[in-house]
Amino acid sequence: MASSGFKGFEELLELVFSLPSCGGARAQHGLRLLPVGALREALEAVQCAVVSAAGNTAFDAYVLSESSLFVYPSRAVLKTCGTTRLLRAVPVLLRAAGDELGLALWSCRYSRCSYLFPEAQPFPHADFADEVRYLDGAVPSGLRFRRASVMPASHRHSGQNRWHVYAASASDDDVTGKDDEHADGTPHFTVDVCMTNQDRALVRQFFLTPGDGRTSHATGEAMTAASGLGDVNPRSLAFGYAFAPCGYSMNALDGARYATVHVTPEDGHSYASYERGGDGAGALASIGKAVAVFWPATVSVSVCYYGTTATTSTEGTPQAIAAAWVWSAVADAVEPLGLACRSRAAETFPGAMTVTYQTFTRTPAASLDMIDRS
C-alpha cells in the first residue's frame, strides 16, 4: 500500500488468446485449465493474492488482496491497485498459456487512469512511457498492430484525470470472434467507472463495526446488500469481501458477464470503482445505479467496445456504434445524479477497438435528494 494512502485508480490488463479450432478440452476450457500454480506464480509476480474465488459455466472470478482476476477460456482480465506490479504478470501468463496449453496471444489491452500517487508506483508503473516499453517487449512480435494513447490528448488543467490505453493485436480487424463471450452472441463491451470524493456518510458503510465477529465474506455480503450494490446488476450472483478495518471488494457473475466493485473509504483519498464487462445496453444502464451508491464529487467513465458487433440495425445486421452515441448514453446515466460532463474523448485502437472517456464533476446545485434509492 502506498505510504500516502491507497493509490486509488486501478490498472486493467486484458489478454485474449486464440483457442485451438480442433475441439477438445483445450478448445472448450482454454485458460481455465491453467494449473493453480501458474496463476499463483503470476499473482506473486504482481504481489497480490487470491482472497476469494467463484465460478460458473462461462468463467472463473477471483477477488484479490488488490482487486480482481477473471479467467475465461480465451481471455484473462486482471485488475490491480495499490503498489502492485500488474505488468509483471504478462510474461508469466504468456509462458504458462503457451507451455501448459499451447495457446498463443491474440490481443492485449492495458488501461488505467492517472495515478493519485505516481511517485509511489514501482517500475514500470511510475511512467506510462515505461509501461508502454515494457508491454512492447513482453507481447509477441506477431501482435504487430500496436498503439498507445493518453485521453484526452491535451490537458485542460493540471491534475485533470486522463485515461491511458495501450493495445496490441495480431489483426487490425474486429477481434471479437476470438472472445468466448461472443459464442452466445453477446457483444463485447466494458465499462469502467472511477469515483473519487464520495459522500462521506455513504462510504462509512464500508468500515467494519468494532467487535463484529463475522467473517470477511459474511460482512462483505452484508455490505453488498446494505449499500445497494446488490441491486446494480440484480440478476448476478455477487461475492463481497470486507477488509479490516475498512475497504470492500466484490465480484458479480451473470452468465458470461462480470461486474466488479472496489472501495477505499478512507477520508482524504476515498475512491470507488465499478467495472462491468458484457453486453452494451445492460452495462450502460447499470452505470447510474453504481454511481448513486457512492454519490461521488468526481467521476470518470471509460467504455471500450469492438467496432461492428455492439449493436444491431433494424434489418438485423451488425453495425458500428458511434462514439457520440456512447457519450450520450453515459451522460444520460450520470447527469441526473447532479454531475456535469467536463471533458470527453474517443479513439480507435488495433483490433477495431474503440475507447471513449468522459469526466464529470458534481454541480453546486446537486443534492443527495436527486438520487432515487427506491
Ligand X SMILES: C[S@@+](CC[C@H](N)C(=O)[O-])C[C@H]1O[C@@H](n2cnc3c(N)ncnc32)[C@H](O)[C@@H]1O
Residue numbers belonging to the annotated binding site for substrate = 6, 66, 243, 266
Q: Is 29 a catalytic residue?
A: no
Long-range pairs for 147-152 at CB < 8 Å and ≥24 separation? 147/349, 147/350, 149/347, 149/349, 151/345, 151/346, 151/347, 151/355, 151/357, 152/343, 152/344, 152/345, 152/357
Indicate which residue of 81, 113, 194, 304 is catalytic: 81
* Residue 47 dihedral angles phi and psi, to the nearest 5°: 75, 50
Indicate which residue of 52, 67, 216, 236 is catalytic: 67
- Choice between 33 and 246, CB closer to ligand X: 246
Which amino acid would we find at residue 227?
S
Residue 115 CB, shortest distance to ligand X, in Å, is: 10
Q: Is 67 a catalytic residue?
A: yes
Q: Is 188 a catalytic residue?
A: no
What the block records as the C-alpha cell of 374 is 427506491
- Choice between 81 and 139, CB closer to ligand X: 81
Output the residue with the shortest Cβ distance to ligand X: 247
Residue 266 CB, shortest distance to ligand X, in Å, is: 5
- Choice between 7 and 88, CB closer to ligand X: 7
Strand, helix or coil for residue 40: helix
Question: What order of strands is seen across the sheet that includes strand 237-242?
Answer: 237-242, 248-254, 257-264, 271-278, 189-196, 298-306, 353-362, 339-349
- Choice between 189 and 241, CB closer to ligand X: 241
Indicate which residue of 68, 236, 249, 302 is catalytic: 249
Residue 223 CB, shortest distance to ligand X, in Å, is: 11
Give me the residues that bind ligand X (CB under 6 A), please.
6-8, 10, 65-67, 81-82, 243, 246-249, 262-266, 271, 273
Annotated binding site: 6, 66, 243, 266
Residue 2 CB, shortest distance to ligand X, in Å, is: 9
Distance, in Å, from the CA atom of 346 to the CA atom of 328, rounded to the nearest integer, reads: 13
Distance, in Å, from the CA atom of 207 to the CA atom of 227, rounded to the nearest integer, reads: 12
Give me Rg for the CA atoms of the chain: 19
Indicate which residue of 216, 262, 286, 343 is catalytic: 262
Q: Is 113 a catalytic residue?
A: no
List active site positions. Answer: 67, 81, 249, 262
